[in-house]
């Protein structure tokens, strides 16, 4: 439904009876050139506890983190999982040009400030990584640690400081698909990356935010905004973020899956360039493709909890 000109909001009934998703919605307002936008987020666990901030990528939404939320809150932490603008229950501008890498970063930064999140442990996957790490670089004092999972922070630098060639044929083809798609097939895109295909109820849940093509400008455009060449939007900001990360001595863990060739090369870059990664028990999770939270969510939850306790991030 259109809440004002050019802004869609997925009807609430699309989110009824999703599998293993009993969480109440929460909303915050973020700014936009189009006026204020409503951003949805999940918020579970004690409000005065350290915050595990979980950022999704494309074309998923906070449903992706449902298997982590229970174990994290049961251990006494607060779990916050937002939907990017254009995804999930969040507002969806209809025009591709209303999205950009800097805007996605700004919207998450605004949410962190609006909720006054502190003692944040960032858990990020896919494009949630470059967005979340950019936010961390702009307010590192709010962050206590990081777990990266099947993600990257593109910098167009040669190894060992970056990955070359990147994006590579697979990602380049995917970016071209996103650039030209008029109706991105959400369910098939997600299912194609899995080692073990999920049931139809799970695929339907990932498709729930997107009743038709008009709602898919965000998922279609977010990939197009990732900087892959000199002069691209966000590239210099990414390089500034790497400068911050090279001084980031707080705990930093990589937890990649064993079946995601599109991101695995970035595992070593993070391990060697971020001081806080030294001495951490970096994990390679078996039996999962790109969306390891879905296929091996319980295993990833265990890795995150071990990281929190091992590094005494409770206080």
Dihedral sign for Cα 176, 180, 186, 187, please. Answer: negative
In terms of residues, how long is the chain?
Answer: 315
Active centre residues (catalytic): 126, 260, 290
User: Please, are residues 182 and 188 in contact by the beta-carbon 8 Å criterion?
Assistant: no
With 0-12 / 13-18 / 19 or more C-beta atoms within 10 angstroms meaning exposed / middle / buried, residue 38 is: middle
Alpha carbon separation from 243 to 122, 171, 226, 239, 276 (Å, rounded): 18, 25, 19, 6, 14
The distance from CA 201 to its chain's CA centroid, rounded to whole angstroms, is: 22
What are the φ/ψ torsions at residue 241 (nearest 5 degrees)? -65, -40
What are the φ/ψ torsions at residue 205 (nearest 5 degrees)? -65, -40
- Cβ count within 10 A of residue 281: 10
Angle 225-228-230 from CA coordinates, rounded to 5°: 110
User: Please, are residues 221 and 28 in contact by the beta-carbon 8 Å criterion?
Assistant: no
């Amino acid at each position: 439904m259109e809440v004002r000109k050019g802004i869609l909001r997925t009807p609430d009934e699309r989110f009824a009876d999703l599998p293993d998703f009993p969480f109440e919605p929460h909303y915050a307002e973020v700014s936009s050139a189009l006026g204020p936008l409503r951003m949805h987020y999940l918020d579970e666990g004690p409000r005065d506890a350290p915050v595990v901030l979980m950022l999704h990528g494309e074309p998923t939404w906070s449903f992706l983190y449902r298997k982590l939320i229970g174990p994290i809150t049961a251990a006494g932490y607060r779990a916050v999982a937002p939907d990017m603008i254009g995804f999930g229950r969040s507002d969806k501008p209809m025009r591709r040009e209303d999205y950009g890498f800097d805007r996605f970063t700004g919207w998450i930064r605004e949410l962190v400030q609006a909720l006054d999140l502190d003692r944040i442990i960032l858990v990020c996957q896919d494009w949630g990584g470059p967005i979340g790490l950019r936010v961390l670089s702009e307010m590192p004092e709010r962050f206590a640690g990081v777990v990266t999972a099947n993600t990257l922070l593109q910098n167009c630098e040669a190894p060992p400081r970056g990955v070359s060639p990147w994006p590579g044929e697979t990602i380049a083809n995917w970016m071209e698909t996103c650039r030209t798609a008029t109706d991105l097939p959400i369910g098939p895109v997600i299912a194609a990356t899995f080692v073990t295909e999920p049931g139809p109820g799970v695929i339907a849940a990932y498709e729930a935010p997107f009743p038709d093509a008009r709602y898919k400008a965000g998922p279609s455009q977010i990939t197009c905004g990732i900087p892959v060449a000199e002069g691209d939007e966000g590239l210099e900001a990414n390089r500034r973020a790497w400068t911050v990360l090279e001084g980031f001595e707080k705990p930093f863990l990589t937890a990649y899956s064993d079946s995601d060739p599109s991101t695995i090369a970035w595992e070593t870059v993070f391990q060697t360039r971020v001081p806080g990664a030294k001495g951490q028990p970096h994990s390679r999770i078996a039996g999962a493709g790109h969306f390891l939270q879905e296929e091996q969510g319980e295993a990833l939850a265990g890795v995150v909890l071990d990281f929190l306790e091992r590094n005494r991030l409770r206080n």
